[in-house]
Structure 1
Amino acid sequence: MPQKINIIGSGFSSLAASCYLAKAGYQVEVFEKNSSVGGRARQFKKDGFTFDIGPTWYWMPDVFERFFSDFNKKSSDYYSLEKLDPAYQVYFGKDDSVIIPGSLDEIFESFEKEETGSSKKLQKFITKARDNYNIAIKELVYRPGISPMELITPETAKRLGRFFTNISSEVRKDFTNPKLRKILEFPVLFLGAKPSDTPAFYSFMNYADFGLGTWHPTGGMYKVIEGIKELAESLGVKFHLNSPVQKIITEKGKARGIMVNGKEFTADIILSGADYHHSEQLLPEKLRQYSESYWKKKTFAPSSLLFYVGFDKKIKNVSHHTLFFDSSFEDHAKDIYDDPKWPDNPLFYASFPSITDGTCAPEGKEAGIFLIPLAPDLEDTEELREHYFNIILERFEKITDQKLKTNIIFKESFCVKDFKEAYNSYKGNAYGMANTLFQTAFLRPKLKSKKVDQLYFTGQLSVPGPGVPPSLISGKLAAGLIEKYEKN
C-alpha cells in the first residue's frame, strides 16, 4: 500500500507539493477550508466581472515552466499567456507618469528620458541583477533551508557583500532621479520588506521585472490555480472543499492524521500549506516549534486593503497595472514597518485586467482592483475601509483626469479581518514573512518539524519566502524532504 499524505490548504505551495508527491507514488488528499481551491489566489465573480482576489502579477515565467516541465508538461497545456506591453505605469502626480515598456531596450530608453546617462547605469545594474537571478532562482532557492552551508558556493562567496548591503543603498549609489529610484526599489516590495532592509542580492527581482517581463494569464491568475489542480487530479490527488482542519492528530510524537469537521482522517504523513503559525496552533503547545514571542519578533510582510470594483465604462489614462507613487514612499513605509498605523497619505496600486483581457468584464465595462499596503493587525472597520476608498478614488480621478464615482456598479472590499478569517493569516498578513537578511533561507521556519515526526510545512512563511514563484518552489522543496525522509 502506498503511504498516505494529508495536505492542509490548497494554495500554490500545497498544490505544487500535491503534484510532486502524487507523482512519487504517494496517496495524496488535500483539505481546503474554503469552498474553492487556491488559498490567497482565489477568484471573485459578480455580474459578469472576474477578479483575482489575491496575486495579480505573473512574474518569473521560467519558474512556472520549470514546475510544469517536471511533469513533462508546459504552462500552455493549461492556460495561455500574454506579455504585457506596457508592463506597468507609475504615476508620480497629475500629468507625471513613467511607463515601463515590455522590452528591456525600450526600458533603457525610458530611463534615459528621465535622467541623462541613466540607461548605461541601468544596463550595468541589470547585468548584476541577472547574475544574481541566475544564482538565486536557478540554484539557491531550490535548497530546503536546512543548513547555512546551502548558501555557500563559489558564486555567492564572490558576492558576499551584496548580502550585507541593501537594495536602497545600491540603487541610490547609481541613480539620483527620485522617480527612477522608486521604480527600481518597487520590485522588492514583493518580498515584504522595505528596500533599506532587503539585501542587495535581491536585486534579482529587478531582472525578474525588466529582464523577464510582466505577463497575464488569460482569465486571470486563477487560471494557473485551475491548471495546477487539473494536473494534480490527473496524478490522482483527491480534494476536499469546505473542510477546515481543527486539529493535527499526534501519537507518541508522530503525526497520525487530522480532524476535519469533527471527523478523523488518518495518514502516514501530514503536510501543512496553511499559515505556519496557525498550523502549529493545531498541535498541543508542547509540540510547537515556535513560541508566540518568536512570531512577535518577526518582520511580517504587509497586509492589504483591497477593493474589487465594477465600472460601467472603460477607464482612460491607465495601464493594466498602474502604481500611484504620488505621495511619500518613506512615510508610507514607516506607517507599515516602523510605527504601524493606518497611513495618512497612502501609496496604492490599481489593476485593470479587462484592459488586456475581455473575459474579465462585460463589453464596454472595466474591472478594477485597488490595493493599499497596510501594517498587519490594524483595526479594521467598514468605516475605515470606506474612508480610504474615498481617499484613493479622489486622487485617482484627479491624477488620471476623469470622474468615476457615478460609474461604480458595485464595490467589494477585503482587509485585515478577511485575511484572518479566510486564511487563518497571522495578524492578517497578506504576503507571509518578509525576506530580510535574518529571515532568509535557513533562518526561516523549517519545512520539517523538529518536534513531530512525519509532520511538514510549506508556503510563504517557510522556505524560500513570499510570492507566487517561491510558493511553487516551496511545495517542491517540502515534497523533496518527504521523499528523502519518509520513503518506506
Structure 2
Amino acid sequence: MSSLTLDRPPSPVVGSGARVPHAIVIGSGFGGLAAAVRLGARGYRVTVLEKLDQPGGRAYVFRQDGFTFDAGPTIVTLPKVFEELWSVAGKKFSDDITLEPIDPYYQIRFDDGETYTECSDLDAMRREIARLAPGDVEGWERFLAKSKDIYEVGFEKLSNVPFGSLASMAKVLPDFIRLQSWRTVHGLAASYVKDPRIRIALSFHPLFIGGNPFAVTSIYCLITYLQNKFGVWFPRGGTGALVKGLVGLIEGQGNSIRYNSEVAAITVEGGRATGVRLASGETLAADIVVSNADAAWTYGKLLPAEVRRRWTDKKLDNARYSMSLFVWYFGTKRQYRGVPHHTILLGPRYKELLRDIFDRKVLAPDFSLYLHHPTATDPSLAPEGCDGFYVLSPVPNLASGIDWAHAAEPYRRAIAEFLGRTVLPGLDENIVTSRIVTPQDFHTRLRSVLGAAFSFEPVFTQSAWFRPHNRSEEVDRLFLVGAGTHPGAGLPGVLSSARVLDSVVPHGADLARES
C-alpha cells in the first residue's frame, strides 16, 4: 500500500481570524484523555489516536455474556482530580458521574486465615490495630501523621512540578531528605510498627502502581493518607463510565478520537515533532504531539535513534521496569454476598515472593492476589442473580522468558482452586464467563515494553527528574503523559501528568502567533 501524506489540515478559525493549532494525542488512556481535555480548553484542536477499537487503554472495558469488566483501574481515591477536569471543560462532574463510597476500603486475608480490615473510621482502625498488635497502635498513629506530611509535599507540592531540570530537582532535595525519601515504603512502615502483618498493611500499596514495597521510595507512603483523607470510591457503571465521560468532554469541545489508528512513528524535522505516521502509512501533521503511549515504547519505537541523546537504546535496555500482571476476569451464576468489594489474599510468603517477581523473575508456585468484586457495589455490571469479579496476580514481566501461551491456563486453574477453598466456595461449578490477560497482552495489545504493567519501576533513581520528562528532553514540541512520566502510575498520578502540561505547553493562541 502506498503511504498517504496529508498536508496540515485546515484549522478552524477563531473570531480574530487566527489559526487554531493542532495537537495530536497518542493513546486514549486516562492520561491521554485528560491531556486532550486540557489542550482543548487551552485553545487547541485535538485529535486523539487510539490503537484499539475503543477508548481507555489500560482502562479498556470488556463486555461479554452480559457482564461488564473494567480491564484496569478499579477505584477512585482522589475525586477532585476528575472534578477539576470537568470544570476545565466547563462541565460539572456530578452531572455525568455518580461515585459510590466503598467502606470498608478493603480486607486483607493473611495465609493463616486472619484478616485485617481497613476503613474510614479512625476509632475503628485503632481497635483493629489493637486486636492484631496492641503494641503498634501508637506507632500506627505516628505513621499516619508522617503519611500526611509526605502527601502534602510529595503530592500537593510536587506532583504538578515538571522537573525539567536538575535545578528543579535540587530545589526539592531538602524536602526529600526531611521526609526520609531514601528509605523504602516497607522500611519506613517498619520504623513505626513491629507486627509483620501491620507492616504489610501499611506498605503494600505501591504494588498498585508497579512498585516493590521493599524497593520504591517512601514518598509513596502518601497513599495511606490520601485514601484516609479523600476516601475510596467506585463510579456507578464502573471506571469505564469515567472513560465515557471524558470522551464526552473531548467531543463536546469539538475534538475527536480515532480508533483502530496505531501510531508507528512520531515525525521529526529540525529537532521538532511535526506529527505522526500511522501503521497504515497515513501521516498526520500537528503543531504539538502528546504521547500517552508507554514512555519506553515512545522513545524506543516511535522516535528515531538519531534524535535520542538521553533515552538511548542502551539506557532503555538498562532501565528497571515494573512487574506485570496476570488478570482473570470471570462471572458466576450465583452471588457471593459476604465477599467485600476489595480483598487482598496473601500467600505463605511476602518478601520472598516479591523478590521472585521483581528480581529473580520466576513464576513462583505460590501467589498473592487482589480480588475485585464490583458487583458488591454495582449489581448492574452483571446479569440479575450473578456476580462479576476480577482477580489480579503480580507476576514477572517478559524479561522472565515465561511462555504465557502454555503457562496461563495452569496458572488460572491454580488461582481458581485457591479462591474456591478460601473466599469463593463452589467457584468452579458456578463460573459462566471467563477471560484472561497476561504480560504478553500488555506487550502486544498495549505496546508496553517487556509487558510491564506500569512502565518504569518507581524506584528513587527513576522518579521525578530521573523519570522521562513531561516535556521531552529529546524533541521540541513533544510531551509525555501517563504512567511512565512524572509523577507516575495510578489514576491520581496519570491525571496529574496531564495537569503538568498546563505549565509546559504553550497556550494555543500563543503558539498560533509564533507560527
Please tell me the TM-score bracket, short chain as reference: over 0.9
> Matches of residues 6-405 of structure 1 in structure 2 within 5 Å?
6-93=24-111, 95-151=113-169, 156-157=174-175, 159-160=177-178, 162-260=180-278, 261-280=280-299, 281-289=301-309, 290-377=311-398, 378=400, 379-400=402-423, 402-405=425-428
Amino acid at match of 1:99: T
- Deviation of 1:162 after TM superposition, in Å, equals 1.1
- Deviation of 1:469 after TM superposition, in Å, equals 1.2
User: 2:3: which partner in 1?
Assistant: none
- Deviation of 1:222 after TM superposition, in Å, equals 1.1
Q: Provide TM-score, normalisation by structure 1.
A: 0.95
- Deviation of 1:155 after TM superposition, in Å, equals 10
SS of equivalent residue, structure 1 residue 98: strand
Question: CA 1:154 to 1:331, structure 2 compared with 1: closer, same or farther past 3 Å?
Answer: closer
Would you say how many aligned residue pairs link Structure 1 and Structure 2? Answer: 488
- Deviation of 1:117 after TM superposition, in Å, equals 3.7
Q: For each residue in 1:183-204, what CA deviation from the matched residue of structure 2 results, as whole angstroms up to 9, or x when unmatched? A: 1111122332222222223211
User: 1:419: which partner in 2?
Assistant: 442
CA distance in 2: counterparts of 1:386 and 1:471, whole angstroms: 32
Q: For each residue in 1:197-241, what CA deviation from the matched residue of structure 2 results, as whole angstroms up to 9, or x when unmatched? A: 222232111112333322111111111111111112212221111
Unaligned runs of 5+ in 2: 1-18
User: 2:23: which partner in 1?
Assistant: 5
- Deviation of 1:31 after TM superposition, in Å, equals 0.6
SS of equivalent residue, structure 2 residue 194: coil
CA distance in 2: counterparts of 1:399 and 1:338, whole angstroms: 29
C-alpha contact 1:145 1:444 (8 A) present in aligned 2: no
Q: For each residue in 1:12-63, what CA deviation from the matched residue of structure 2 results, as whole angstroms up to 9, or x when unmatched? A: 1111111111111111111111100111111011111111011113222233
Amino acid at match of 1:391: A
Question: CA 1:430 to 1:24, structure 2 compared with 1: closer, same or farther past 3 Å?
Answer: same
CA distance in 2: counterparts of 1:11 and 1:134, whole angstroms: 27
Deviates more, 1:344-353 or 1:164-173: 164-173
CA distance in 1: counterparts of 2:24 and 2:149, whole angstroms: 39
CA distance in 2: counterparts of 1:450 and 1:159, whole angstroms: 26
SS of equivalent residue, structure 1 residue 164: coil
SS of equivalent residue, structure 1 residue 22: helix
CA distance in 2: counterparts of 1:425 and 1:103, whole angstroms: 39
Equivalent of residue 431 in structure 1, options 433, 446, 454: 454
C-alpha contact 1:321 1:352 (8 A) present in aligned 2: yes
Deviates more, 1:141-150 or 1:334-343: 141-150
- Deviation of 1:479 after TM superposition, in Å, equals 4.6
Q: For each residue in 1:282-334, what CA deviation from the matched residue of structure 2 results, as whole angstroms up to 9, or x when unmatched? A: 22220234122212222222110111101110125421111111321112211
SS of equivalent residue, structure 1 residue 17: helix
C-alpha contact 2:38 2:502 (8 A) present in aligned 1: yes
CA distance in 1: counterparts of 2:253 and 2:287, whole angstroms: 19
SS of equivalent residue, structure 2 residue 110: strand
SS of equivalent residue, structure 1 residue 318: coil
Question: CA 1:409 to 1:66, structure 2 compared with 1: closer, same or farther past 3 Å?
Answer: same
Amino acid at match of 2:144: I
Question: CA 1:136 to 1:189, structure 2 compared with 1: closer, same or farther past 3 Å?
Answer: same
Question: CA 1:471 to 1:180, structure 2 compared with 1: closer, same or farther past 3 Å?
Answer: same
Amino acid at match of 2:306: K
Question: CA 1:293 to 1:64, structure 2 compared with 1: closer, same or farther past 3 Å?
Answer: same
CA distance in 1: counterparts of 2:378 and 2:411, whole angstroms: 28
Amino acid at match of 2:464: A
CA distance in 2: counterparts of 1:306 and 1:154, whole angstroms: 38
CA distance in 1: counterparts of 2:158 and 2:117, whole angstroms: 32
Deviates more, 1:183-192 or 1:426-435: 183-192
CA distance in 2: counterparts of 1:447 and 1:229, whole angstroms: 22
CA distance in 2: counterparts of 1:374 and 1:67, whole angstroms: 34
SS of equivalent residue, structure 1 residue 142: coil
C-alpha contact 1:140 1:150 (8 A) present in aligned 2: no
Amino acid at match of 2:102: L
- Deviation of 1:161 after TM superposition, in Å, equals 5.0
Q: Provide TM-score, normalisation by structure 2.
A: 0.90
C-alpha contact 1:65 1:75 (8 A) present in aligned 2: yes
C-alpha contact 1:79 1:217 (8 A) present in aligned 2: yes
Taking only the aligned residue pairs, the percentage that are identical comes to 29
- Deviation of 1:380 after TM superposition, in Å, equals 3.5
- Deviation of 1:403 after TM superposition, in Å, equals 1.7
Question: CA 1:106 to 1:211, structure 2 compared with 1: closer, same or farther past 3 Å?
Answer: farther
CA distance in 2: counterparts of 1:47 and 1:387, whole angstroms: 24
Unaligned runs of 5+ in 1: none
SS of equivalent residue, structure 1 residue 137: helix
Equivalent of residue 495 in structure 2, options 459, 468, 472: 472
- Deviation of 1:460 after TM superposition, in Å, equals 1.0
Question: CA 1:479 to 1:262, structure 2 compared with 1: closer, same or farther past 3 Å?
Answer: farther
Amino acid at match of 1:433: F
Amino acid at match of 1:85: D
- Deviation of 1:159 after TM superposition, in Å, equals 4.9
Q: For each residue in 1:81-123, what CA deviation from the matched residue of structure 2 results, as whole angstroms up to 9, or x when unmatched? A: 1111121111113642122223333222211211114333222
- Deviation of 1:264 after TM superposition, in Å, equals 1.6
- Deviation of 1:66 after TM superposition, in Å, equals 3.5
Deviates more, 1:249-258 or 1:229-238: 249-258
RMSD: 2.0
User: 1:443: which partner in 2?
Assistant: 466
Deviates more, 1:413-422 or 1:294-303: 294-303
Q: For each residue in 1:243-290, what CA deviation from the matched residue of structure 2 results, as whole angstroms up to 9, or x when unmatched? A: 111222222322222122221211122111111222231222202341
SS of equivalent residue, structure 1 residue 138: helix
